[in-house]
Amino acid sequence: MRERTPNVDRGILVFSIWGSLGFLGLGLFLEGMAHDVWAVSAAGVAVILTALGAHVVVNAVHGTGFTRGEAALGVGTYGVLGFVFIVGALQGDMTMADYYAGLTLFGTLAAGFLAYLVTRHGLRGAFSQFHMRSAGPAMRKGD
DSSP 136: S
- What's the pLDDT at 120? 73
Q: What is the pLDDT of residue 5?
A: 67
Q: What is the pLDDT of residue 132?
A: 59
Query: pTM (2 decimals)?
Result: 0.78
CA atoms within 13 A on the CB side of 87: 6
Q: What is the pLDDT of residue 37?
A: 95
Q: What's the half-sphere exposure (Cβ side, CA atoms, 13 Å) at 105?
A: 26
pLDDT at position 9, please?
87
- What gap in Å lies between CA 95 and CA 88, rounded to an integer? 10
Low-confidence ranges of the chain (pLDDT < 70): 1-6, 121, 123-143
